Structure 1
Amino acid sequence: MGEWKAYILEDIIEKFIDYRGKTPKKTEEGIPLVTAKIVKSGKIIEPNEFIALGDYESWMTRGLPEINDVVITTEAPLGEVALIKDKNVALAQRVITLRGKPNFVFNPFLKYYFQSPVGHYELDSRASGTTVFGIKAAVLRKVPVSLPPLPEQKAIASVLSSLDDKIDLLHRQNKTLEAMAETLFRQWFVEEAEEDWENGSLLELVDLIGGGTPKTSILEYWDGNIPWLSGGDIAANHKSFVQDTPKHITEHGLKNSAAKILPKHATVISARGTVGKYCMLAQPMAFSQSNYGILPKNSENYYFIYLLINHVVEELQSSAYGSVFDTITTTTFKEHKVLLPPRDEIIQFDNSVSGYFEKMLLNKIQIRTLEKLRDTLLPKLMSGEVRVAI
């Protein structure tokens, strides 16, 4: 295998596209605008800002993007990186687009380099600013980059991108499975609802369980074996299974606080602040206050309840109130009216969609395994600790 060589970024870059210092006129539709806000976790997520088609040529005077160009955010946040997959986009402030010299660097490898701890360190150690932490273009140009021979760059990028592609496929499968379950819910309980079904309170179908937080000052309450779900964890796993949590509490902490353990498949919803984020538990967990555990009343029809919350969540959000934080309460659930299907109809429906949710959970478990493998390999491959045979 060939030796790794050290370069300065500007020596291996063919095109350095920088639109900082310019502010485009934004519209609600048109050419998607790649902003720093939508460059996340190695990809460009769905855009929510646009410029008019008629403004494209007058705006994009500093250079046009190409497929597999590397986009890197320079501030707020610094160091998020992705590849351009559709060149029909406009480039905004706070991002710089890099196109490597073909005989020096393989663009997908360069993306993974800046995703790795090695690349992050090179950026963070050169950043400046008090209010906004970022890196100047002139400084970015001088960032050192270590590269193996081009064939090995391509082999490394192939290994990592194959993992990312599989992760993306599983995420898409889960979105499809959830959409199918939601369609069946609407068919059974909205479009084909029986005229004799009564209207009643949402609380006639669910039980609400309040959460709690052990005192953080008492060390004996924390770092146990009971997963403890926070509002941030719910938001991070919105409309998905949550498998584990960063924080865990002890049995002692559970007994000496208002925290309660919810069973596997229970739904948890954020009830204060950013209300209406919800997820399903992949294992029993305790959870924080300002959230509700939602259990099926007198049954184990967890999938029906999860899809019911999905169906009514916008109405619950619109009913939130509060002087400082938006809040939904037991009263919000009590006052919200829904159709009350017969119990046997709910049981039959729950059985019909159980396969979708079982597959979604298996996919989520596989996603987590692949992400751990990728995150373990990334720093080793980017430092040369692990080499890829060519």
Structure 2
Amino acid sequence: MIKESRKSKPREWEGEGGMREWKECKLAEVIITNAQSITKDYPHKTIRYLDTGSITCGKIDFIQEFSLESAPSRAKRLVKEHDIVYSTVRPIQRHYGYIVNPPENLVVSTGFAVIETNKKLAEPLFIYNFLSSKDIVETLDSIAEGSTSAYPSLKPSDIENLDILLPPLPEQRAIASILSSFDDKIDLLYRQNKTLEAMAETLFRQWFVEEANKDSKIGKITELIEFNPKRQLAKGTIAPYLDMANVSTSVFHPENWYEREFNSGTKFINGDTLLARITPCLENGKSTYVTFLEDGQVGWGSTEFIVMRSMPNLHPFFTYTLARSTDFRDYAEGCLEGTSGRQRVNVDHLANYEIIIPPSKVIQLFNEIISSIVPKLHFNFEQIQTLEKLRNTFLPKLMSGEVRVSL
């Protein structure tokens, strides 16, 4: 698809005097995949391990630490500065990233293709932007869907065999710089939101977990929230759908959602909190606060969500701070039932969680402070969406030469 669009105007572009310096080649001509793995001479006794599910669209949710002896069997690939990690399983889930300032003992899963760029021929960030573009992700996902393995997956050679149009190195660097300026602004907004979330979570811990006074009482969590409230959505309705893969483990908003015909699943509205009820998503911290729907709209998602809603006397964001609480999550993990690897939270047991219920004046103060935080979170979220749309609009135009960069 990319190749055809490039060939639709080659003479027109060359006639404008700039595209003749661009070169079409196979990606294999400028990259090496999976160059290094752990060997018996590996010098570190502990590793920091990045799994495929722990990074999405370049954002790392968490890195685990293991002794070398207890590390997962897939913890084998070594990475270095400016490498690209790209999950070879279900590319459409966008578990890829660009490595910057890695710890010396960082090891990644064999579920990644680790891509090293020949810097004499190509700019690593240019290659990363190429591989993370919508068209290429969809191309690789189509290849993966056609694989003969038990699930959609790629071989490193599938990545290496991609056709790429390369401008001269100075122009590659200029294009990468423009796209990085978008990424830097987006990253700043993400960090601001993480700070705001941390403030809200601190308030929750202080007043609902750590500090009981004479007017407080201990009660069941069902005095403060409702589990799986009833929502109406007719079968066959086209409505926003949220997949578990798009739920973050670190920020309140999801990575993406899309319209899909409703058949069966959890239903939710703005102000609901979604908590993963299945392993390992629960342990990994997947939860989200719904703000992305239109007024009065009902969305739906995976059956593996628990929907939670604050009672009317509490700000809806209270339930999200609860879902992020280590104490609550630990209790939820204790409510897991079922066979190993496919365990799910028993909601009836989860409803027995005990919590400090502060007096109404403390709840009112909590609501007031949270009411000043949540609009800032949502504003930043909307700015992130706007910047991501702009970036995604410019990316294919810059990468194809349709929009040129002045050097």
Asked if these proteins are the same fold (TM beyond 0.5), I'd say yes
Cross-structure match for 2:271: 265
Structure 1 residues 300 and 196 mapped into 2: Cα distance closer, same or farther (>3 Å)?
closer
Structure 1 residues 202 and 384 mapped into 2: Cα distance closer, same or farther (>3 Å)?
same
Q: Does the alignment pair 1:86 with 2:86?
A: no
Cross-structure match for 2:89: 76
User: CA–CA distance in 2 between the matches of 1:368 and 1:129?
Assistant: 33
Conserved in 2, the CA contact under 8 Å of 1:18 and 1:95?
no
Cross-structure match for 1:373: 390
User: CA–CA distance in 2 between the matches of 1:105 and 1:77?
Assistant: 26
Cross-structure match for 2:258: 246
What is the TM-score of this pair, normalised by structure 1? 0.74
Conserved in 1, the CA contact under 8 Å of 2:267 and 2:299?
yes
Q: What letter matches 2:234 in structure 1?
A: P
How big is the shift at 1:260?
A: 7.1
How big is the shift at 1:385?
A: 1.9
How big is the shift at 1:366?
A: 0.9
Structure 2 residue corresponding to 1:319, chosen from 335, 358, 380? 335
Conserved in 1, the CA contact under 8 Å of 2:201 and 2:321?
yes
User: CA–CA distance in 2 between the matches of 1:368 and 1:313?
Assistant: 29
> Per the alignment, in what secondary structure is the counterpart of residue 294 of structure 1?
strand
Structure 1 residues 24 and 245 mapped into 2: Cα distance closer, same or farther (>3 Å)?
farther
Cross-structure match for 1:299: 313
Cross-structure match for 2:81: 67
Cross-structure match for 2:115: 97
Cross-structure match for 1:9: 27
User: CA–CA distance in 2 between the matches of 1:10 and 1:280?
Assistant: 42
Q: What letter matches 1:96 in structure 2?
A: V
User: CA–CA distance in 1 between the matches of 2:266 and 2:154?
Assistant: 40
How big is the shift at 1:332?
A: 3.5
User: CA–CA distance in 1 between the matches of 2:162 and 2:208?
Assistant: 58
Structure 1 residues 28 and 381 mapped into 2: Cα distance closer, same or farther (>3 Å)?
same
Q: What letter matches 1:76 in structure 2?
A: V
Cross-structure match for 2:209: 190
Structure 2 residue corresponding to 1:165, chosen from 184, 204, 225? 184
Cross-structure match for 1:219: none
Cross-structure match for 2:289: 280
Structure 1 residues 71 and 271 mapped into 2: Cα distance closer, same or farther (>3 Å)?
closer
Cross-structure match for 1:361: 378
Deviations 1:120-145 (A, max 9, x none): 477568777411632355x7555432
User: CA–CA distance in 1 between the matches of 2:255 and 2:98?
Assistant: 29
How big is the shift at 1:358?
A: 1.7
Structure 1 residues 81 and 241 mapped into 2: Cα distance closer, same or farther (>3 Å)?
closer
Ranges in structure 1 where 5+ consecutive residues have no aligned partner: 54-58, 217-221
User: CA–CA distance in 2 between the matches of 1:170 and 1:66?
Assistant: 27
> Per the alignment, in what secondary structure is the counterpart of residue 378 of structure 1?
helix
Conserved in 1, the CA contact under 8 Å of 2:331 and 2:350?
no
User: CA–CA distance in 1 between the matches of 2:266 and 2:52?
Assistant: 38
Alignment length (residue pairs): 364
Deviations 1:344-380 (A, max 9, x none): 2101111123222221111111111111112222222
Conserved in 2, the CA contact under 8 Å of 1:27 and 1:51?
no
Structure 1 residues 270 and 106 mapped into 2: Cα distance closer, same or farther (>3 Å)?
closer
> Per the alignment, in what secondary structure is the counterpart of residue 129 of structure 2?
helix
User: CA–CA distance in 1 between the matches of 2:136 and 2:180?
Assistant: 17
How big is the shift at 1:258?
A: 11
How big is the shift at 1:119?
A: 4.3
Mean Cα displacement is larger for which, 354-363 or 89-98? 89-98
**Higher-Rg member (1/2):** 1
Conserved in 2, the CA contact under 8 Å of 1:210 and 1:291?
no
How big is the shift at 1:108?
A: 0.9
Q: What is the aligned-residue identity percentage?
A: 30
Give RMSD over aligned pairs. Answer: 4.3
Structure 1 residues 372 and 296 mapped into 2: Cα distance closer, same or farther (>3 Å)?
same
Structure 1 residues 25 and 204 mapped into 2: Cα distance closer, same or farther (>3 Å)?
farther
Deviations 1:70-96 (A, max 9, x none): 4445x3255965332135234664523
Cross-structure match for 2:12: none
Ranges in structure 2 where 5+ consecutive residues have no aligned partner: 1-16, 70-74
Deviations 1:34-78 (A, max 9, x none): 56555542356543365749xxxxx99x9x8552234445x3255
